[in-house]
Amino acid sequence: MNGTLRRRVIPFIQALVVFIVSFSVLYSGDNVGLSDNGDFRRVLLSNNIEYIDNTDSSYLFNQFYTMKLENDSNVFTAMASAWQTNEEEEIYSSPHFLIIKISKELNVIANAVTGKPLTDYNIAYMAFLYILMLSFAAWVIFTFFADSKIKIQIAVFVLFIFMFCDAGYLLYFNSFYGEPLQYTALMMLIAFGLLIYKRPSVPKAICFFIALYFFAGSKLANIPYSLLAAVLGLFITIMRKDKLFKAGVLISGLVCIASIAGLYSSIPDWMNKDTTYQAVFFGMLKESEDPQSYLKELGVPEEYSVLANTNAYMESDEYPIDIASDKFNADFYEQVSKTDIAVFYLRHPVKLIKELTRAIENSAYIRPPALGNSADEPMEMTDKFSLWSDIRVKLRFLYEPWVIFLAFIVITVYLIFINIFYIYNHKIETPERRYMICSLDVLMLGLWVNLVLPIVCNGEADLAKHMFLFTNCIDILFAVCVMGWLLLPVKKLITVFACSAVFTGLFYVRVPSKAIEFGRFNGEPVQWEIAKRCEDGSLILVTKDPVGYMPFDEESNSWEESDLRDWLNHDFLKEFTIGELNDIVRVRNSVILPYSQREKAETGDHSHYWNFTVDMVGNLSGTAYRYSVDDIVTIPTLDILKNIGAGSDYWVLCPYTSNDHMVRFMNDDGFVLHTDVKKELGVRAVIRYDAR
């Protein structure tokens, strides 16, 4: 095979592997995707798609839907109907809808060929489109590196498959979220950017700006950054001197900017209101000791401080004030803008850093841990091709706030000096180097913007999902760093990887806790660690390891009536002596209640809001719906999780508030997730021991 043929064939084969791997992750064995967190509704309504059983199947991946067609007996009429938008809904313009409409057309054609009802909708056809887009981007990227050394070609291919075909990214393809279009459009932006670097032309620039438009429209929160990227993208004109090229780039760039501005103007009023509410009451005012002063700065009546810690999607009876009233609309929505919120954070840098720290911690997972993967098991976490998802959680520096801040500051300062040097020496710099500097500026600007924007625009609500683009960009930056390391001589490369391994290991250093032997279970002494020292001298003890693995219950997440509570307070204690039982202090536990059981609450005025980081999982839990239960033995509560660590999966004494059949648990990676009560997980017993 000659060199030219090899440079064309090998990238195609590599892209074909991307396609096969992506398809296999989603559809080999049990089909997997992402469940609906409530965001599907507006997309389904706008595109005339409905759930088959008229439910949103929360926590379960749903592959099959039904389409509303004006005529479901004629193929051509059905295809025309499938392209229509539901004009009765208050929608916004989004290229995301274009992908959905094409997938609807594919479904109609496939249904006609196979004899199925024309109204059947299989989300796999939309996933197929995303896989094609990702494979195309991969092909372009592999083609760019086809002239590089073999080790670089191999490294690019392996990194792409390993990192960017990970299930954490691909699961989005089987969903109606905007993230899959955002992800594939970003990959195409990188691909076309590389092509322009290699051989600039007007068609490539046009493709670049088209990809940028799709990226902007995939998630409307991307619009501010996309406009900045489009302006910087006009620097493509420096790559060639001919006027025709410059004119083509400028025209396509300006059309892109105008189109993105059009997307911004289409944002419906309800969406802007909801995000503003979240940004203020579930961001700026969340856990604030002086919410009145913050509202005063915004020019909002202080009486609304009672709404602090609430979000826009609670049940109406949980709000102390009617937020749908004309008065609240005039006092708040007409008074506060996203610009006001941004200015507020500039005036309060400490508050901003605190919120950004939480945002970084929420970027640990690629896919949000609040969404289920399986069509059969609620909140099932797939392990299909998830090695990078698992590794990036273990590499804690990728979401350690002080590491991210330090790295961002160092890179930003470095780029500032590079840009200053370029300005003073622009005559001796090559167009390629100028283009490279501009590309690095865009990447770093994107990292900063996508770190700050979720907080300013939506507060802490659904934060893990809103950090997807930030996580994606961090992975891209990390991949670039790995590529740079591979160019080092072997000795330096070994040194770099050794230092990286040591640096990563430091995050796992934990002083071993002193073990206490107390009681017996299954004929063996029980090992306990001290989780907390109480003021009266007693100790809160937690078993060092799970004493068994069992379901929480067969049907309910109520601690008082659970099988697990009954087992711990009876069977687990059978081998304890009378003297040992006398040393255990009976406690009155304050237990969090799910929303549906709020009528049993003795204290609290809201549901316990979900979060998965140990630092944040207990936020606002003290004022959540609670009631008291007498116990001898319990399981770990939210307030002691920081003191006992992870090590293995084990149940936590906290129901998932949105339903009656899920409970929180500590995952072995140190994050607090939730799952069905029937799942078998570790049981770490907790007692209050009288050490006096």
Let me know the angle formed at the C-alpha of 613 by 611 and 615, rounded to the nearest 5 degrees. 105
Report whether 557 contacts 679 (CB < 8 A). Answer: no
Q: Model pTM greater than 0.85? A: yes
Residue 619 in tokens: 């936020």
Beta strand 662-666 pairing with 650-655? antiparallel
Helix (H, G, I), strand (E, B) or coil at 149: coil
Cα gap 236→654, rounded to integer Å = 54
Helix (H, G, I), strand (E, B) or coil at 329: helix
Report whether 634 contacts 587 (CB < 8 A). Answer: yes
Convert 106-124 to b/e letters by CB count within 10 Å (16 or more is b): bbbbebeeeeeebbbbbbb
Residue 670 in tokens: 């140190």
Q: What is the largest CA-CA distance in the chain?
A: 93
* DSSP, res 282: I
Q: Which residues pair with 651 in a beta bridge?
A: 665
* DSSP, res 413: H
* DSSP, res 630: E
Query: To the nearest 10°, the Cα dihedral for 17, 22, 28, 33?
Result: 180
In the chain, the amino acid numbered 154 is: I
Task: Categorise residue 401: left if φ over 0, alpha if ψ from -120 to 50, beta otherwise.
Answer: alpha
Residue 691 in tokens: 């050490």
Cα gap 564→570, rounded to integer Å = 10
Cα gap 51→198, rounded to integer Å = 47
Boundaries of every domain in the chain: 3-218, 515-689
Cα gap 474→467, rounded to integer Å = 11
Cα gap 354→337, rounded to integer Å = 21
HSE-CB of 125 using CA atoms within 13 angstroms: 18
- Which pLDDT does position 101 carry in this prediction? 95
In the chain, the amino acid numbered 72 is: D
Cα gap 641→387, rounded to integer Å = 26
Cα gap 371→468, rounded to integer Å = 13
**Token pair 């929480």: residue:** 552
Report whether 479 contacts 471 (CB < 8 A). Answer: no
Cα gap 562→655, rounded to integer Å = 11
Report whether 317 contacts 625 (CB < 8 A). Answer: no
Cα gap 676→692, rounded to integer Å = 40
In the chain, the amino acid numbered 2 is: N
For residue 272, what are the CA distances in angstroms to 8, 41, 277, 333, 619?
47, 17, 9, 9, 26
- Which pLDDT does position 428 carry in this prediction? 64
C-alpha closest to that of 368 among 43, 16, 674:
674
Element (H, E) at 587: strand 587-592
Cα gap 613→610, rounded to integer Å = 10
Cα gap 573→687, rounded to integer Å = 11
Task: Categorise residue 519: left if φ over 0, alpha if ψ from -120 to 50, beta otherwise.
Answer: left
HSE-CB of 431 using CA atoms within 13 angstroms: 12
Cα gap 312→286, rounded to integer Å = 13
For residue 184, what are the CA distances in angstroms to 23, 181, 389, 526?
15, 5, 18, 52
Report whether 678 contacts 551 (CB < 8 A). Answer: yes
Cα gap 476→446, rounded to integer Å = 12
* Gyration radius of the chain over CA positions: 27
Backbone angles phi, psi at 425, to 5 degrees: -130, 30
- Which pLDDT does position 606 carry in this prediction? 85
In the chain, the amino acid numbered 410 is: V
C-alpha closest to that of 216 among 176, 262, 172, 252:
262
HSE-CB of 589 using CA atoms within 13 angstroms: 24
Q: Averaged in consecutive runs of 10 residues, what is the pLDDT profile of the chain (692 residues)?
A: 70 95 93 89 89 75 91 82 77 85 95 92 96 97 89 92 96 95 96 92 94 92 90 87 92 94 85 91 90 92 90 84 90 92 94 94 91 85 90 90 92 89 74 84 90 92 91 93 81 80 73 80 92 86 93 92 93 92 90 89 87 88 90 92 86 90 91 92 92 66
Helix (H, G, I), strand (E, B) or coil at 461: coil
